Chains A and B, each alone.
Chain A
Amino acid sequence: MSRITRLGLAVVIAALPVVLPAPTASAQDDSAVEQTKEITNYGKDTTRNATVRVSRTANLFDRQQVRVDLAGFEPTWNANNTAVNGTRLQYPVVVMQCRGVDPDPTTCANEERLQWQAGFDVNATPSQRAVAERQSRPGDPSVYPGADLNEQYANLFRAEQLPFAAANGTSYLWRLETRSDGVPFIDEPNLKSFPPTDVTSEGAATINTRNIPIRPDGTNAFLFEVRQRASQSSLGCSDTQACSIVVVPIMDMACLDELSEDKPLPAEALNCGKPGRGPAPGESGATDDVNPFAASQQWHAESNWRNRFVVPISFAPDLQSCDVRDSRPPLPAYGSELVAVAQERWGAAYCTGARRADYLPVYTQGSEYFARRQLTTQLGAAYQQNAVFTSQPVTESPRPVAHAPTAITGFAVAFVVDDGNGAQVQNMTLSPRLLAKLITQSYNPIIVPPAARDGKKPYDGTQSIPDAATAARYYVAHPALFNNPQSLFADPEFADLNPDFALRSGTDALAPHLRNTINPMVFTVESDIMMDITRYVTGDPAARAWLDGQPDPYGMRVNPAWLNLEPTQIYTLLDTWVRPAMPRKEGWLESKIGVLTDRQFVYGGGDTCDEVHGTEYLTKVANVANAAKATALMLLDRRGSATPICTQTIAPVPTGQQAAEPQFPGDDVTQDVRFNETKIAPVDYGKRAQLALTTVAHAALYGLPTARLVNSAGQAIGPAPGTMRSALHAATVDPVTGTVQIDHTRVGADGYPGTMVAYTAVPTSGLDLATAGRYADFIEFMATTGQVPGPTLANLPPGYDPLPPSLVRQAKDAAAAVRAQRGEVPAALDDPVGEDTPPAVDQQAPAANPGSGLPVNAQNADDAKDADPERLAKTEDASSWLARWSIPLLIGFGLLAALVAFCVQVGARPDHPLRRGLDGLLRAVGRR
């Protein structure tokens, strides 16, 4: 390409993008809020000073997690019973989100809204007291007026439920019970006897209210997920509707001695003012028999509500201006999940007008491998993709392809782990070998204590076990993992790396929930991300030796199914051991299996699902997903895809259709019985211990803590801003495509070893010029305006480091080659980080290109490339005279037009600044 052409293009390029206004706030946000005040235990008439700290309160996004630190509160009783979102805790602290900065209980999102108990509070509100006066126990419809039971129930809900006032003015009584015909008891325009319909019992829309157990030292810390209008419109928080995080400590209530008119307290209210039940703070054990007057449901009782902390929060503006009926032609781009989070923002920029264009980029997330196959193969008459996002270069393409740097991010190990004290862990360090142990499923999934093992034999499903006495002589354990630690947290290597991690719980050296084998959430599709994870692991000498069979210093060995693991693009479950089911007793009948009573008890033995399905045990307990986003969401949902539970469904078989005789031993011909491998229920808060392989950007999007990974310099580095750009010093350059890849054996002290670079790969020949121009424009947008980090939805989101200037230039060169469609492939950069940062370590990749020996900078990058004729892949299209000259001619014409326009304007405007300047100059000259 001639230099004139390039200059012309540069002018056009410079004229096209409208630069976004500078971000209003820096990426560093310091909106933490700390409040300390005196709180009163009205039941005991004592006071104490308590402190609430919220890590971030401004410019929040939907579903972002903010850290909440509590200190100085009354320790919680029955603290080990964290079931049902902590509603069985005694003296917990309730944390919820409310609309407004001075909220009352009607604007707080909390499903506990029964007013009866609160009515016995000395300071009760009139409506609370009225319920207590009317009812001797809550929920009896017969004391309410009404023509029939339906009306009585409706009146009961009206009186006894504290309404939740949704943002749209509708009140929800939150208790979903329906009449026999499926219709709710109350469904009036402004009053509903069911929860807001944006709240569901599981998954993404569960309410964010948390009931927090306070440790014996009066503290706790956890991540609280804030909800913006987009995910909870009934709460309605947004950039224009301020909200707050409200913290209500539950303490002893100041209780009435009697109801009005010498009416004695009903029996169920006698617990008012009585202490909470269950084990004292710091003690083990738990009870389900709790005192409701000391539980989270009393958050709106006056004795508790008066002690509330209100921390105002504000949200970033949400961009709702994309229109589903946008008629601009879509510009498809397919591929790597590394860019997914950024694409969401960039896509929004095209809709809000922050980026003006006559096309609309449409990003489709998918495997990089599939992306490259689609870019290079035809199905029918056309190539399947014309633009893909990839980390590894596109090779063996029939069309020449330019690779434009688009995003610096990486893989991450995100985690949601509560320590032995039930507090959410914020920091964790993993070495390549620990990661190797996790992904090779090498922790022992079935622990058989010595007492159940000594002098006994492993049961493999073939031995004859006629009675209980024989069964007691056997046990079941994974044959190869028998001597390995049971979980990551039981591994001494983990304890060495994480000395501050509280593993103990009460008298247990290792808290029970940390003992279970951790099966990390993993995506099982072909992926560059998985390739880099396994490259990182296998590139470490200690991990490599361990994977090759050498035990670690504590004697743990790799699962032999994964021996000699090599880098791989697809995570495959390799272990094939099937857990033998406990042997059936005489006369076993399939429809009676629900419990194991029809089986001889063998320690560690399997259930009927193991027998019927024969699923490999480690496959059954593995958590697999289709995408890195899905693994991150599994952490938020507090469960993966593992199906360790065996359930059964039974349907009777009509008499006429029953088989004459059993189809197999134990077949019950009268019943159709199905055995299902089922997921666990979401894990309780305080007992979570889950890790996920995901991307840095997805972890940042959901505010998930990420592990620090030990790099080749021996430093444990997390994906903090700058650490990924720093890791580029250890990059090797592919001389053909100009793409870089991190050499995990050379990452410097401050480099995050999980760093990856995502490229936009687009052919530089074969596209029509209009489409090519759009792709070029899109590439330029992503590499320039799209690289400004910041808090608004038009900025580069957290989880990405901005491209250094050298990579921006590389992207612009790629865009120019795409726009021209002359088969050109820009030269590889010598130094991916550029001169703005310390120079990279010696290049290991051979410098195949003599032209690239020139220093690469803004002035002569183009010359360097032009000096290298080998870079120009000759194609048919390049020989077209029209193709070669039409654009330059047009550009020249355009420049001419610009000049003419300028002169016309100067000529037409007597007050034109240039004319005035010239006049002034002339006058000055004349005067002299």
Chain B
Amino acid sequence: MGRIATWRRALVVATVAATVTPVIPAAAESAQAAYEPVTGSGSTWSQNALDQWVQDVRSRGMTVSYSGVGSSAGRRQFADGQNDFGVSEIPFQGTDRGQPDSSPNRKFAYMPIVAGGTSFMYQLRVGGQIHRGLRLSGETIAKIFTGAIQNWNDPAITRDNNGKSFPSKPIVPIVRGDGSGTSAQFTRWLDTEYPGIWRPYCGCTGLTSYYPVNKGRAPLMTSQTGSDRVAGAVAAAAGDGSITYVEYSYATARNFPVAKVQNRGGFYVEPTHFNVAVALTRAQINQNPNDQNYLTQILDGVYRHDDPRAYPLSSYSYAIIPVVGTGDFRITAGKGRTMSDFMYYFLCQGQSAMPSLGYSPLPANLVRAGFEQVKKIPHATTTDQDVASCGNPTFDPGDLNSNKLVREAPQPAPCDKVGQGPCGAEQTSAGAGPENGGGGDAGPAAEDPTGGDTAAAEVDPETGMVVGDEADGSGTDLAGNPTELAAYRSEGITTTLGVLVGVQLLLVLLVPPFVARAVRRRQNREQ
């Protein structure tokens, strides 16, 4: 009896081993340095993404700690050798409002880590209820954050909302008090798009990480330190009438609405991962690998993209990574391995969770470029990575040069068009809710001749970088817009799969005993 039990257990093990197709790779790290803890600091805009990745890699034996101290502080700590990597929305600026901002002693490179939309989270109560679905044009936003519009009943806001007016209530703009990449992103947009409104207010030109609180012009404006505190201030009871700029994920986690922002396509849109991805097809990426600012972004094209889906304030966030060269005494072999494996993870598999956190994943060309940047880290583990295996929702495994996310991005609802609507308060975004979502909207999107894809193909397929395949062929690709909802794709596939499973099962059951026997026979012979 005991023998039979043993035999059965052996069979079960064999079954499992054979059913589970890819056998876990054996630890091939004999010659590699052991992982060592790595510390990073900087942006709170992308902190939710980094927190997720840090948690993910713990089960992979890596200890990474990240503190959201603000982009400016992150850049400074990098320059001073106080962290292993920094995270920032903008490159080193030289100086910013009198504060030095450069890394003269420590060599570095930039690497995009994730995309996202700077959203306008607000609390506006109408009859005690939080109003959702507020629409704002860029000009109105610029005026709100420079004190030129101070009340929610302002005619400009009524006009943005197609005649829907809001009660008289002072607008409280809440800005970041610490040196912030979110402020830099926002003020760069203000400076590029509305210099006539922004520059007199700021008394400056260009972007700044330190948003000026000019009480003379905007008496109600206040500031808070860090993304979670500005979001918390809007969500607080005292926050009625307030509005802030913060990465989208901070609003979604609190279930607070964000303003739909008018784009050049004539629609008011939210910063969904779709709309961010569409907008960023117009980002101009520095393509000179020999330039210190390689891979950094120029967003003018993003601000002005005329695709009806594009969210104007979309951008990439960057890691500042140490590279082989002078000034780095922190990066040991173990740290270099940890950092390169961590970054490989978040560039690749780590991107798949980004939509559920309120970010937009990187497109294939930036992931590929990121892999090359990772190799520059001192002691990096340099293996060539296969982009196709990343599970990144922007990737089309069949055609890596085509941005699947952009292709599938739904069109905004007609009621979000300038001069239409506004959409019902409960409807937060196009495609939300099963009855009007998905399939129905995807069709028109594909056929829309003014859609971004055809336009994008003329200039730069994804992000402005030269990619192998210039011929996007988006028109034809779009016809095969896949819908993964159906449980059973086709009967043919299911049947084939069924037969395969059967054969496999048969093999699984038949092969092990024979193999075992052969082995035993050989052993007997050797004895």
Contacts of B352 in A (CB 8 A): 330, 332, 362
B164 at the interface (CB under 8 A from A): no
Which residues of B are interface residues toward A (Cβ below 8 A)?
3-4, 7, 12-13, 15-17, 19-22, 24-25, 27, 34-37, 39, 47-48, 51-52, 55-61, 63, 65, 67, 81-82, 84, 97-99, 104-106, 177-178, 203, 210, 213-216, 222-226, 228-229, 231-233, 235-238, 250, 252-255, 272, 274, 327, 329-332, 334-335, 341-342, 344-345, 348-349, 352-353, 355-357, 383, 385, 389, 391, 408-410, 429, 431-434, 437-439, 441-442, 481-485, 487-489, 491, 494-495, 498, 501-502, 505-506, 509-510, 513-514, 517
Q: In the complex the two chains form, is A205's CB within 8 Å of B20's CB?
A: no
Is the pair A194, B501 in contact by a Cβ cutoff of 8 Å? Answer: no
Instruction: Tell whether A564 is near chain B: CB-to-CB under 8 Å.
Output: no
Q: Which residue of A lies closest to B391 (CB)?
A: A330
CB distance from A905 to the nearest CB of B (A): 4
On whether A882 and B353 interact (CB within 8 A), knowing A626-B48, A672-B98, the answer reads no
Contact A182 B105, beta carbon cutoff 8 Å: yes
Chain A residues with CB under 8 Å of B56's CB are 362
**Would B35 and A230 count as touching, CB distance under 8 A?**
yes
Contact B485 A766 (CB under 8 A): yes
CB distance from B116 to the nearest CB of A (A): 15
How distant is the Cα of A572 from the Cα of B21 in the complex, in angstroms? 49
Question: Given A378-B431, A664-B216, A889-B498, 10 other A-B contacts at CB below 8 A?
Answer: A229-B34, A324-B342, A324-B349, A626-B51, A641-B228, A676-B177, A677-B177, A880-B488, A897-B509, A914-B4
| Per-residue interface assignment for chain A, residues 190 to 216, with 1 indicating a CB less than 8 Å from any chain B CB and 0 otherwise | 001010011010011100000000000
Contacting pair A886 B494 (CB below 8 A): yes
Q: A324-B57, A643-B225 are in contact. Are A192 and B329 (CB under 8 A)?
A: yes
Instruction: Decide if A230 touches B494 in the complex (CB within 8 Å).
Output: no
Q: Which residue on A lies nearest to B507, using beta carbons?
A: A897
> Which stretch of A80-88, A366-374, A749-757 is in the interface?
A366-374
A-B contact pairs, 8 of them (CB 8 A): A168-B332, A197-B329, A326-B25, A332-B353, A377-B437, A619-B238, A667-B216, A676-B177
Please report the C-alpha to C-alpha distance between residue A328 and residue B36 in the assembled complex, in whole angstroms: 25
Whether A897 touches B434, Cβ cut-off 8 Å, given contacts A233-B334, A657-B203, is no
Bound: A340/B52 CA distance, A = 11
B438 and A382 within 8 A (CB):
yes
A525 contacts the other chain (CB 8 A): yes
Residues of A within 8 A of B (CB): 15-16, 18, 62, 168, 181-184, 187, 192, 194, 197-198, 200, 203-205, 229-233, 318-330, 332, 334, 340, 344-345, 347-348, 351, 353, 356-358, 362, 364-367, 369-370, 373-374, 377-385, 398, 524-526, 561, 570, 572-576, 612-616, 619, 622, 624-627, 641, 643, 649-653, 657, 659, 663-664, 667, 672, 674-679, 765-769, 821, 877, 880, 882-883, 886, 889-890, 893-894, 897-898, 900-901, 904-905, 908-909, 913-914
Which of B178, B215, B229 gathers most chain A CB within 10 Å?
B229
A322 in contact with B61 given A356-B17, A381-B442 (CB within 8 Å): yes
A301, B285: Cα distance in complex, Å: 59
- Contact assessment for B488 and A768 in the assembled complex, using a CB-CB cutoff below 8 Å: yes
Residues in chain A near residue B213, CB distance under 8 A: 612-613
* CB nearest neighbor in B for A916: B3
Expressed in whole angstroms, the Cα–Cα distance for A379 and B97 within the complex equals 42
* Chain A CB within 10 Å, residue with most, of B34, B334, B356, B482: B356
CA distance A904 to B516 in the complex (A): 14
Q: Find out whether the CB atom of B429 lies under 8 angstroms from the CB atom of A379.
A: yes
Interface centre among B61, B81, B502 (most CB of A within 10 A): B61
Contacts of B383 in A (CB 8 A): 325
Assess whether A358 is in contact with B434, with CB atoms less than 8 Å apart: no
A324-B57, A344-B58 known; A526 and B255 CB under 8 Å? yes
Known: A324-B345, A381-B442. A613 touches B327 (CB 8 A): no
* Given A369-B255, A370-B255, A768-B488: A198 touches B36 (CB 8 Å cut-off): yes
| Contact between chains at B438 and A678 (CB < 8 Å) | no
Q: Is the CB of A197 within 8 A of B335?
A: yes
Q: Evaluate contact between A576 and B238: CB separation under 8 angstroms.
A: yes
Q: Assess the A380–B216 pair: CB atoms within 8 A.
A: no
Q: Are B498 and A886 in contact (CB under 8 A)?
A: yes
Indicate if the CB atoms of A651 and B99 lie closer than 8 Å: yes
In the complex, the chain B residue whose C-beta lies closest to that of A198 is B37
Assembled-state Cα–Cα distance A232/B215 (Å): 48
> A616 is contacted by which of B106, B238, B505 (Cβ under 8 Å)?
B238
